[in-house]
A and B are shown apart, each in its own frame.
Chain A
C-alpha cells in the first residue's frame, strides 16, 4: 500500500497566519491527492482534490500544490473556523487501498 506521511503532526498558529502542511507519498501518485478538514465530532469535509482543485464552496484562502510524491496544503490567512485537523488522501490506487495521512492538528496559539 502507498503510505502518506504528513508534517507536522501538530501545528500551533495565530489568526491571520499563513500555514503550510506537507504530505509525502511513499511512491509517485501523480496528482491523485485530496485534502480534508475535520472538526471534532464532525465528518471530514473535502477541501482540495486532484492536488490543486478547490472544491466548490471552499474559501479561496485554501490552496493545494504538488505532484508525484510531495504535496502541500496552504491556508493563506488563518481564520478562527480553520482550527481543525487536516488529512491528505491518495486515490492513485482507486478504488482499492485508498490511504489517508495520519493527520495534522492545527490549534490556536
Chain B
C-alpha cells in the first residue's frame, strides 16, 4: 500500500538547520512530484515547497524562499526538505504529500503522518 513517512523533526534554536525526510513506498516514486505542506499549532495548512517528478522544477512559498531547499533521491524513494536559518514562525507540523494529476486535474491523495519542527531558544 502507498506509504509516506516523514522524519527528522525536532527542537532547534533560531538560526539553526534541520533536514526532513519523507520515505515512500508502495508506488512508482519516479512518476510523481511531491509537496511539503506545514501547519503551525492550531492553524491552517500552508504550502511550503514542490519538486517535479524528475527534479527539474522546484518551487517555494515566499515565506521560505532562499532558506529551504527541496530535493529527492530516486534511488531511495525519498524526498527531503533542508531547512536553514530557521525562525520561530517556522514552528509547525510538516507533512509531505503526493499530488497526482490526470488531465490537468490535480489533488493531494496521500499524506504522511507529519514530523514536528519546533524553533525555540
Cβ A100 vs Cβ B50 within 8 A: no
A49→B44 CA distance, assembly (Å): 19
Known: A94-B101, A95-B59, A95-B99. A34 touches B46 (CB 8 A): no
Cβ A91 vs Cβ B112 within 8 A: no
Q: Which residue of B lies closest to A31 (CB)?
A: B105
Cβ A96 vs Cβ B111 within 8 A: no
Inter-chain CB contacts under 8 Å: number: 63
A34, A91, A100: the one contacting B44 at CB < 8 Å is: A100
Give B114 Cβ to nearest chain A Cβ, in Å.
6
Please tell me the size bucket of the interface on B.
20 to 34
Q: Which residue of A lies closest to B34 (CB)?
A: A95
Among A45, A50, A53, A94, the one with the most B-chain Cβ atoms within 10 Å of its Cβ is A94
Cβ B44 vs Cβ A50 within 8 A: no
The binding surface of chain A is classed by DSSP as loop
In B4-41, the 8 Å CB interface with A consists of: 33, 35
Q: Which residues of A contact B108 (CB under 8 A)?
A: 34, 36, 44, 46, 89
Q: How many residues of A contact B (CB 8 A)?
A: 26
Known: A34-B107, A91-B107. A99 touches B47 (CB 8 A): yes
Task: Give the interface of B toward A (CB within 8 A).
Answer: 33, 35, 44-47, 50, 52, 57, 59, 61, 95, 99, 101, 105-109, 111-114
For the complex of A and B, the 10 pairs showing the least CB-CB separation, nearest first, are A49-B107, A43-B111, A100-B45, A95-B50, A91-B106, A98-B47, A50-B105, A34-B107, A96-B59, A94-B106
